[in-house]
């Protein structure tokens, strides 16, 4: 358990801390502003004003809902890789490719030597943290995922592209820590995809996190966990943020075979359905988690970023999980 | 060796200009209630025509409809079968594309044609021969999940998918399809299931009539299976060379009893291959026993690339062909 580490960092959290994976849907006024900016109808400063307003909206909303560890909601990002590619040297932003259904993203192309030009997310983290007394997570995309979700033209192979990315992303982590961030999430959703490359992801994560004074979370989702578990526990982080509900909590069976040894941010609501889970459904999922995992290790959050839901759906899903966690907290705190 | 150019399977259904974004826009509008299903079908038809035209313009001798209408390689076929419902998203192999997982709750059965209408549309709108692409029964079964007691276990699900696709192969052949490509990327992940794939392909081959049947394998190294693949009841083998350091050498030394689709151009990365290097690989293969006719194609579907890069890859096929032919001359 890493509660002792959190306490050393000055963070005291209740049982079943609630959080979210990172992204929230952009409110209509921000979508409108992004559209106008793309058409050059408004300035960068005007867009940023809308992004700050949207960030404030989500910080307030998380406070209202009673979330314990907050996120800035990523109002300033298009997607989780292109945003970083756009802010590092060595990338070009490619055309649209499909993710699923009618969802597309701009897939970056690594065309040169990657290099950190300066803080990318730090000002946004500072702004979000200035709006609340609760801890706000620093949010980054990990080097393995940035590599995997980019086309590689300027490095001979995938490992050769991943390690320089890790060195540069570490600089962003150091900048976040210097700014005061104590909980930092390094998203690595691609890690579950090529089991044979897990050692590369682990090597890269060591480069990013080794020796740094923060509580590290990594988010992994929608992959073949049966092929990377338990080896994935060698990723040097404190907490795995995992999509559990979309896959029917089937990872619990893996945990029963091989003990799970870290903290977990347990995905209790599915982000790919408009249906908002009823509070008892969420609570039941948590009770199932408790059959296998120690209560001190469990954080509660959605399966993945909520940006594909509507604002109302995202709020309702967060409300369901916060209420379920609070209810269970009351029941289990004396046990 | 006669070298022709072919597309592999999928093609981007979006691009940077407004016309190329028609389908995305129309689906979004349909979801908001501003357009209807007929509008989406019209947009799909338009994007299919664009895909066909771009393949022809690149000089390909064999084109596909680009699989523009497919939500993904799995649910597009299984979702039309009785006994199957479509569930949540899962990643498709090691790509960053997701498919909707089929849930088999009763014996899967084909009640209506799956691809015939799409093929006849493409054929009517193409000046070049159109290859029909369908995901194979083994790959469909491997990406499905069975509800308790749904169909009697994996073998029964596979058998039912095979029966459904055999009917589809027959219908496609009757509709005038000359070349039908069955895609079995899952075979390279689980080569121990080769006997099952062989049996399924025999069932499809029995219904192909005068059409040629191709097997495409990708997202893995086919070299260890190469000799076995040569004995399969198919006319063409479409192989992914990008995962294999030894496949060119394997083909060169073993020769081939089948027409080959040579996936020497990476369909998943934007980097353009050195044309001379690929031409040298082709020369090696051309010296193999019995090379006959071969197709140069991307290693997999081009949907993983942005449209402008997919176009460049197709034009690059033609550039490689010119270098190869220049050397041969």
Q: pLDDT tens-digit profile of B86-117?
A: 988 888 998 889 999 999 999 999 999 999 99
Cβ contact B96–A148 (<8 Å)? yes
Are A149 and A193 within 8 A, CB to CB?
no
Handedness of CA B152, B154, B160, B164 (dihedral sign): positive
* Tally of structural domains, chain B: 1
Sheet with strand A263-267: strands edge to edge: A138-141, A183-187, A215-220, A239-242, A263-267, A298-301
* DSSP state for residue B276 in the 8-state scheme: H
Asked, for residue B36, whether it belongs to a domain, the answer is: no
Tell me, yes or no, whether A113 lies in a domain.
Answer: no
Q: Does residue A110 fall inside a structural domain? A: no
Contacts of B98 in chain A (CB under 8 A): 99-100, 222
User: Does ipTM exceed 0.90?
Assistant: yes
Q: Which of A48, A214, A54, A53 is nearest to A137 (CA)?
A: A214
Instruction: Answer whether B307 sits within 8 Å of A96, measured CB to CB.
Output: yes
Query: Does residue B322 form part of some domain?
Result: yes
Phi/psi at B124 (5° precision): -70, -20
Task: Tell me, yes or no, whether A93 lies in a domain.
Answer: no
Q: Is residue B49 part of a domain?
A: no
What the block records as the tokens of A301 is 């959050």
Write out the residue range of the structural domain in which residue A124 sits: 3-79+118-330
Q: Which domain holds residue B274?
A: 2-13+59-328
Q: Which of A100, A108, A144, A277 to mutate to test the interface with B (most CBs of B within 10 A)?
A: A100
Q: Give the number of other CB atoms < 10 A from CB of residue A210.
A: 9
CATH number of the domain encompassing residue A122: 3.20.20.210
Note whether residue A169 is domain-resident: yes
The first and second tokens of residue B325, run together, are 């032919």
Say whether residue A152 is in contact with chain B using an 8 A CB cutoff. yes
DSSP state of B294: E
Domain-embedded: residue B242: yes
CA–CA separation, B131 vs B137, rounded Å? 18
Question: B306 and A95 in contact by Cβ < 8 A?
Answer: yes
| pLDDT-derived band at B327, boundaries 50, 70, 90 | confident
pLDDT band at A1 (very low <50, low <70, confident <90, very high): low
For residues B133 and A171, give the distance between their C-alpha atoms in angstroms, rounded to a whole number: 47
Three state DSSP letters for A297-310: HEEEECCCCCCCCC
The strand order across the sheet containing B145-146 reads B81-91, B98-110, B145-146
B47 found inside a domain:
no
CA–CA gap between residue B196 and residue B210 (Å, rounded): 24
Q: Does the residue A38 lie in any domain?
A: yes
CA distance A159 to chain B (A): 15
Asked, for residue A99, whether it belongs to a domain, the answer is: no
Is B306 close to A94, i.e. CB distance below 8 A? yes
State how beta strands A215-220 and A239-242 pair. parallel
pLDDT in tens, B43-60: 999 999 999 999 999 999
pTM for the structure as a whole: 0.88
Burial pattern A273-311, b for ≥16 Cβ within 10 A else e, equals: eeebbebeebbebbeebbebbeeebbbbbbbbbbbbbeb
Q: What dihedral do alpha carbons B61, A99, A200, A146 form, nearest 10°?
A: 110
Is residue B42 domain-resident? no
Per-residue pLDDT tens digits for A39-63: 999 999 999 999 999 999 999 999 9
Out of A98, A102, A246, whose CB is closest to B303?
A98
Count the domains in chain A. Answer: 1
Task: Identify whether A271 is part of a domain.
Answer: yes
Does some domain include residue A105?
Answer: no
Interface A–B counts its CB contacts (< 8 A) at 77
Q: Does A309 touch chain B (CB under 8 A)?
A: no
Tokens 């249906």 belong to residue: A275
Lowest mean pLDDT among A226-230, B37-41, B180-184, B255-259: A226-230
Strand partners, B4: B295
Kindly report the CATH number assigned to the domain that includes residue B184. Answer: 3.20.20.210
Beta carbons within 8 Å of B319's beta carbon, 6+ residues apart: B275
CB contact under 8 A, B306 and A194: no
């Amino acid at each position: 358990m890493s509660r002792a580490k959190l306490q050393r960092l000055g963070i005291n959290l209740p049982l079943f801390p609630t959080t979210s994976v990172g992204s929230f849907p952009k409110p209509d006024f921000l979508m409108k502003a992004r559209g106008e900016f793309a058409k050059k109808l408004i300035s960068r400063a005007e867009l940023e004003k809308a992004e700050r307003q949207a960030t404030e909206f989500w910080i307030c909303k998380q406070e209202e809902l009673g979330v314990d560890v907050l996120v800035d909601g990523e109002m300033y990002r298009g997607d989780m890789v292109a945003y970083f590619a756009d802010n590092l040297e060595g990338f070009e932003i490619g055309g649209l490719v499909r993710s699923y259904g009618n969802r597309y993203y701009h897939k970056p192309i690594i065309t040169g030597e990657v290099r950190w030009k300066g803080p990318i997310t730090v000002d946004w983290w500072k702004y979000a943290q200035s709006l609340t007394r609760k801890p706000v997570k620093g949010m980054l995309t990990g080097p393995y995922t940035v590599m995997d979700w980019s086309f590689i033209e300027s490095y001979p192979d995938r490992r050769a592209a991943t390690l320089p990315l890790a060195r540069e992303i570490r600089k962003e982590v150091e900048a976040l820590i210097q700014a005061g961030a104590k909980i930092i999430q390094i998203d690595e959703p691609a890690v579950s995809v090529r089991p044979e490359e897990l050692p590369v992801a682990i090597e890269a994560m060591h480069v990013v996190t080794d020796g740094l004074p923060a509580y590290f979370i990594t988010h992994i989702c929608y992959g073949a966990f049966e092929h990377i578990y338990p080896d994935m526990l060698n990723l040097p982080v404190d907490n795995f943020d995992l999509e559990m509900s979309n896959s029917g909590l089937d990872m619990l069976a893996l945990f029963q075979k091989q003990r799970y040894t870290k903290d977990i941010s347990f995905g209790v609501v599915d982000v790919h359905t408009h249906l908002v889970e009823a509070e008892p459904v969420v609570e039941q999922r948590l009770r199932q988690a408790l059959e296998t995992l120690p209560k001190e290790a469990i954080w509660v959050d959605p399966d993945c970023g909520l940006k594909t839901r509507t604002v109302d759906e995202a709020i309702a899903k967060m409300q369901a999980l916060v209420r379920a966690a609070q209810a269970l907290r009351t029941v289990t705190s004396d046990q | 060796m006669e070298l022709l150019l072919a597309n592999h399977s999928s093609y981007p259904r979006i691009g940077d200009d407004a016309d190329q974004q028609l389908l995305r826009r129309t689906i979004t509008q349909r979801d908001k209630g501003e357009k209807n299903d007929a509008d989406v079908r019209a947009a799909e038809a338009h994007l299919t025509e664009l895909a066909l035209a771009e393949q022809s313009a690149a000089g390909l001798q064999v084109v596909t409809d680009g699989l523009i209408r497919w939500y993904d390689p799995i649910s597009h076929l299984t979702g039309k079968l009785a006994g199957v419902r479509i569930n949540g998203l899962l990643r498709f192999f090691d790509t960053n594309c997701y498919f909707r997982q089929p849930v088999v709750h009763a014996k899967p059965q084909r009640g209506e044609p799956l691809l015939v209408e799409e093929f006849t549309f493409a054929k009517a709108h193409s000046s070049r021969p159109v290859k029909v692409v369908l995901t194979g029964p083994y790959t469909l079964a491997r990406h499905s999940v069975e509800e308790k007691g749904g169909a009697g276990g994996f073998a029964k699900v596979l058998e039912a998918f095979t029966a459904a696709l055999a009917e589809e192969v027959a219908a496609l052949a009757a509709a005038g399809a000359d070349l039908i490509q069955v895609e079995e990327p899952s075979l390279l992940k689980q080569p121990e299931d080769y006997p099952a794939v062989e049996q399924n392909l025999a069932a499809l081959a029995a219904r192909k009539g005068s059409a040629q049947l191709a097997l495409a394998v990708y997202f893995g190294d086919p070299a260890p299976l190469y000799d076995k693949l040569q004995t399969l009841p198919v006319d063409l083998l479409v192989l992914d060379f990008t995962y294999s350091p030894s496949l060119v050498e394997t083909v060169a030394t073993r020769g081939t009893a089948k027409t080959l689709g040579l996936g020497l151009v990476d369909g998943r990365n934007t980097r353009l291959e050195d044309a001379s290097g690929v031409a040298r690989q082709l020369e090696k293969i051309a010296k193999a026993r019995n090379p006959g006719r071969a197709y140069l194609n991307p290693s997999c579907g081009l949907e993983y690339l942005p449209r402008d890069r997919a176009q460049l890859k197709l034009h690059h096929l033609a550039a490689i062909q010119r270098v190869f032919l220049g050397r041969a001359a």
